[in-house]
A and B are shown apart, each in its own frame.
Chain A
């Protein structure tokens, strides 16, 4: 609006100048007047020049178009993904960057799409678990994510914030980012919440999974008073993040000779984990579940709910989805290890901007995790962490 007015003003100036310079019929006058006129002509041209340059000067302050950073999370329905987006938005506003959020999920997506970034669940895996299918087939979600990256690059993204679904998907994304950009430069990829060992990542923003595992183990040990049997639900031998968590849990529980760790059961969806919990509880006495990922904790909670054992068996879980929080409030979970999605988005975007403006980039940014319990979940700062957005 203001700009338009400026343009108008400029036009007015031009018009005035044109009127000044336009030849007027004073040819019949003497030479002196002609001389004066030529002087005036010079002056007018000068004014013209001057105004022109002045306008040029004022226009020279126009800034470059802001860098476009694309954020691609797995199916963006979960709270964490939303928190990541909010954080990235806050950082974008601060840095004067433009945030593209590309919906990484086909519109005909299943209603149930847990988007916990650690979860590498998808139907393909599930099927594979059930029927041993070849792993090289991309799942729908992976395909959607890769499609989203392609789309973002087509829209001129100059950096990518990706919360990848799997190692394969990530390497595919990085390959695309290095080849597909219009300007021929490779686009930096910043990975959120994952530790897949893939070449070509600019920066990794993720929690210290070993430390988070330790926290979970400590919390469980405290709950059990240092005695009892603990089952690990939902570890994953191929996801480095989950391997680290497991490592952390084991490290901390080794300190307590009174606590024995049951054989872990690998599962990655709510239903499979529920089945696993059921089997465990059928076979032996379990005093506490440490659910390394969100679907595992939900599955365990389902089984305890079925058996009415919520009060007897402790669960320490990871995640901060709505359902988990409700169960935390009800005391189904005693503790949740929560990571700050907002700061993941915020710091990730900052790294992207730093990279684009050729500043120092940290190859690894560690996010803090927080142990939230039934008692302190409604404390002021925890509220903001657990419920990042007003709706």
Chain B
């Protein structure tokens, strides 16, 4: 049990079935259907029992009714018989108009009396109404009613329905009421037999009209011998196509079930008083009560409908429950993508609210941490920048001071003054109160001073020009970007060049970019050299050459302005080199210096 359960749980976990939605839907559905099924089963038994009982009751009532009607009819016929007996044999005589009249009155009052016959014990006709000739071929003395009247005198007996064949005319089914009566005539006792034949039609109709379901019927048997008195399908019984279990009906009281042609039937038995008959009501169970199968079918259909409803409702329910969770998931995905400015609305079920709060807190925490990290990174970057910038100075200072020393040694005071002045200016701009961002104007000034110094160092081996568009002067730029490149142009391009060098610096705007262009007519570089300039390890080395300064500039611009900015080279051997520095346009009016902190 347990391992199975665990296995199941594992299965559930590992499948998609374990979503809250499906868990709710299915558990809900299974639970409700289970409850309904149990209810249905419990009700089912009760229901079928009740149905059986009520069916039995209905059948019983119908059979009782038929029995009552028959009894009533028999009773009224007995009365009639007595009345006939009265009128006929009152004075020991049956002759005379008086009697005839009375009998005719009785006959006309009841149309179901077919004939009244008075016979003596030898079967000779004494009198009959309506008057007719007795057929000799009828063999009266052999008829059942005659014999029973003789056998039990002074007792009114009813015969089974039979064909009356004593008179000519259409053959009719009759029930014969007969009685052996002792009449005193002329002081002598005389045995006579009074026969009243009543049409069986009335009883036949009484029994035929009964409906017990679609195919149900009643039949009547005679209690003494079990002869069939009435059966709607008597013909079929004679043909052997149908049979009734008469033995069982004879001994039974109340109801019993039997089976015929594979169909269950409910038989209800009731005796009819005074005549010795028994009524059996036959009802087919599948008609008078909904069978188990039908009930089952119905229940299954109901269960299906309920299941569909439950699934619908629980889907709605679970989706309304999981909607906030799914919303959360969306927000989390956004966070995954890197958008930390999300906030979950605090709403929905309590648990979801709590979760949302926690999530918001978490995101806030992450946000602050990120900011801290960014800040740190910037710090780091700034420090790096400063380190890089700081690398320039001592190197250059060393060179310049060397030159100054040389100049002093050559006592070229004018130049020394210019140089020292330029140098001090240079350094003032370099320092620029610790800012890393300066205007183009200042940068150009810085370049100018530097060029001146270098011109003096290299004994005017080159000339230079600075040319900036008016609208660029107030723009901001990272400081000390030109100087290393100029140094590069001088040291690598012009120093070993035989002709007079020329360095042209231009600043202009190109769309949203600010471009510094440094051209020299130096020795130029090979393509490999150009490619090697911006790649390779950015190890900071002090000392001249090896393009470290150039790398420096490139990396700083990249660090500060991001990708898409930096240096571009174009060079041809013996022709010269052109460098473009591209940075975004930022003017002094805007606060483009976000991360610059005054120190």
Asked if A385 lies at the interface with its beta carbon under 8 angstroms from chain B, I say yes
Indicate if A182 sits at the interface (CB-CB under 8 A): no
Interface pair A94/B215, CB less than 8 Å apart: yes
Considering the chains assembled together, what is the distance between the CA atoms of A50 and B236 in angstroms? 48
Contact with B along A90-102 (1 / 0, CB 8 A): 1001101000000
Residue B15 at the A interface, CB < 8 A?
Answer: no
Q: Is A330 part of the binding interface, using a Cβ–Cβ cutoff of 8 Å?
A: yes
Q: Is the CB of B214 within 8 A of A87?
A: no
- When the two chains form their complex, are residues A46 and B163 in contact, meaning their CB atoms are under 8 A apart? no
Contact of B173 among A49, A83, A86, A390 (CB under 8 A): A390
Shortest distance between the CB of A336 and any CB in chain B (Å): 14
**B162 at the A interface (CB under 8 A):** yes
Partner of A380, one of B138, B170, B214, B227: B227
- The answer to whether the Cβ of B165 comes within 8 Å of any Cβ in the partner chain is yes
A60→B300 CA distance, assembly (Å)? 14
Q: Which residue of B lies closest to A89 (CB)?
A: B232
B137 interface hit (Cβ, 8 Å): yes
Q: Check A256 for interface membership: any CB of B closer than 8 A.
A: no
Please name all residues of chain B whose beta carbon is closer than 8 Å to the beta carbon of A368 when the two chains form the complex: 239
Asked if B238 and A390 make an inter-chain contact with CB atoms under 8 angstroms apart, the answer reads no
CB atoms of B135 and A391 under 8 A apart = no
Chain B residues within 8 Å of A87, by CB: 235
Please state if A390 and B170 are interface contacts (CB–CB under 8 Å): no
**Is there contact, CB below 8 Å, between B238 and A384?**
yes
The interface stretch among B306-314, B489-497, B502-510, B579-587 is B306-314
A340 touches B302 (CB 8 A): no
A39 to chain B, nearest CB (A): 9
In the complex, how many angstroms separate the beta carbon of B300 from the nearest chain A beta carbon? 10
| In the complex, residue of chain B having the shortest beta-carbon distance to the beta carbon of A350 | B241
From known contacts A326-B168, A390-B201, infer whether A61 and B238 are also in contact, taking CB-CB under 8 Å.
Answer: no
Are B298 and A378 interface neighbours, CB within 8 A? Answer: no
Taking chain A's interface residues, is the majority helix, strand, or loop, or is none over half, making it mixed? helix
Q: How far is the CB of A42 from chain B (nearest CB, A)?
A: 6
Shortest Cβ distance from B176 into chain A, in angstroms?
13
A378 proximity list for chain B (CB < 8 A)? 162-163, 165
Establish whether residues B235 and A86, one from each chain, have CB atoms under 8 Å apart when the complex forms: yes
Residues facing B in A253-308 (CB within 8 A) are: none
Do B302 and A57 touch (CB < 8 A)? yes
Q: Determine if B76 is an interface residue (Cβ-Cβ < 8 Å).
A: no
Residues of A within 8 A of B238 (CB): 381, 384-385
| Residues in A308-355 with C-beta less than 8 Å from chain B | 322, 325-326, 329-331, 340, 342-343, 346
A386 to B163, CA, bound (A): 10
Residue of A nearest to B231 (CB): A384
CB distance from B400 to the nearest CB of A (A): 79
Contact call A383/B302, Cβ cutoff below 8 A: no
Report the minimum CB–CB distance from B312 to chain A (whole Å): 7
Chain A residues with CB below 8 A from B233, complex form: 90
A138 at the interface (CB under 8 A from B): no
Number of cross-chain contacts by CB at 8 Å: 89
Q: Would you call A93 and B215 a contact (CB within 8 A)? A: yes
* Count of interface residues, chain B, beta-carbon cutoff 8 Å: 37
Q: Is the CB of B171 within 8 A of A96?
A: no
Closest beta carbon of chain A to B262's beta carbon, Å = 14
Closest residue on chain B to residue A95 by CB atoms: B215
- Taking a contact as CB atoms under 8 Å apart, the answer to whether A61 and B294 are in contact is yes
Q: Determine if B342 is an interface residue (Cβ-Cβ < 8 Å).
A: no
Which residues of B137-157 are within 8 A (CB) of A? 137-138
Measured in the bound complex, the distance between the Cα atoms of B237 and A340 in whole Å is 12
CB 8 Å contact bits of B272-303 with A (1 = contact, 0 = none): 00000000000000000000001000100110
- Report how far A22 CA is from B234 CA in the complex, Å: 61
B200 interface residue per 8 A CB criterion: yes
Query: In the complex where A50-B305, A346-B241 touch, is A325 in contact with B214 (Cβ < 8 A)?
Result: no
**Closest residue of B by beta carbon distance from A49:** B309
A325, B171: Cβ atoms closer than 8 Å: yes
> A15 an interface residue at 8 Å Cβ cutoff?
no
Pair A385/B235 contact, Cβ less than 8 Å: yes
Using known A-B contacts A54-B302, A340-B239, A387-B163, determine if residue A46 contacts B312 with beta carbons closer than 8 Å: yes
Set of chain A residues within 8 Å of B309, measured between Cβ atoms:
46, 49-50
Instruction: Give chain A residues whose Cβ lies under 8 Å from the Cβ of B306.
Output: 50
Given contacts A93-B215, A329-B165, A343-B239, contact A387 B313 (CB under 8 A): no
Residue A156 is within 8 A (CB to CB) of chain B in the complex: no
Most buried by A among B171, B301, B302: B171
In angstroms, Cα B175 to Cα A134, docked, is 53
Contact A57–B298 (Cβ < 8 Å): yes
B588 interface residue, CB < 8 Å from A?
A: no
How distant is the Cα of A58 from the Cα of B236 in the complex, in angstroms? 36
A140 sits at the interface (CB 8 A): no
Residues from chain B with Cβ under 8 Å of A376 in the complex: none
Per-residue CB contact flags for chain B residues 160-185 toward chain A (1 = under 8 Å, else 0) read: 11110100101111000000000000
Assess whether B201 is in contact with A90, with CB atoms less than 8 Å apart: no
Which residue of chain A has the shortest Cβ distance to B301 in the bound complex?
A: A57
Contact A391/B239 with A46-B312, A50-B309 known, Cβ cut-off 8 Å: no
Q: Can you name the residue of chain A whose Cβ is closest to the Cβ of B230?
A: A390
Residues of B with C-beta under 8 A to A390 = 161, 172-173, 200-201, 204
A343–B241 touching, CB < 8 Å: yes
Whether A388 sits at the interface, judged by CB under 8 Å, is yes
A96 with B201: in contact, given A46-B313, A49-B309, A331-B137 (CB under 8 Å)? Answer: no
Query: CB within 8 Å of B: which of A34-50?
Result: 42-43, 46, 49-50
In the complex, what distance in Å separates the CA atom of A385 from the CA atom of B168? Answer: 20
How far apart sit A202 and B137, CA to CA, in the bound complex (Å)?
45
Per-residue CB contact flags for chain A residues 38-75 toward chain B (1 = under 8 Å, else 0) read 00001100100110011001101100000000000000
- On whether the beta carbons of B163 and A54 are closer than 8 Å, the reply is no
- Tell me, in angstroms, the Cα distance from A49 to B307 when the chains sit together: 12
Partner of B214, one of A90, A96, A374: A96
A24 to B139, CA, bound (A): 89
Nearest Cβ on chain A to B548's Cβ, whole angstroms:
70
CA distance A73 to B235 in the complex (A): 20
Tell me the smallest distance from the CB of A54 to a CB of chain B, in Å: 7
B316 contacts partner chain A, Cβ-Cβ < 8 Å: yes
Question: A50-B309, A90-B235, A385-B238 given as contacts; is B316 within 8 A of A391 (CB)?
Answer: no
Contacting B at CB under 8 A, from A130-180, are none
A384 touches B316 (CB 8 A): no
- Partner pick for B162 among A61, A325, A326, A383, CB 8 A cutoff: A383
B20 CB, nearest partner CB in chain A, Å: 19
Interface-central residue, A46, A60, A386, by most chain B CB under 10 Å:
A46
Can you show 18 pairs from A to B with CB atoms below 8 A apart?
A46-B312, A46-B313, A49-B309, A50-B309, A57-B301, A57-B305, A58-B298, A90-B233, A96-B215, A330-B135, A340-B235, A346-B235, A346-B236, A380-B160, A380-B162, A383-B163, A390-B201, A391-B173
**Given A46-B313, A384-B235, A391-B170, 16 other A-B contacts at CB below 8 A?**
A50-B309, A86-B235, A90-B233, A322-B170, A322-B171, A325-B171, A326-B168, A330-B137, A346-B236, A346-B239, A346-B241, A380-B162, A380-B227, A387-B171, A388-B235, A391-B201
- The 7 A-B pairs at the shortest CB distance, nearest first, are namely A342-B235, A390-B204, A53-B305, A390-B173, A381-B238, A57-B301, A343-B239
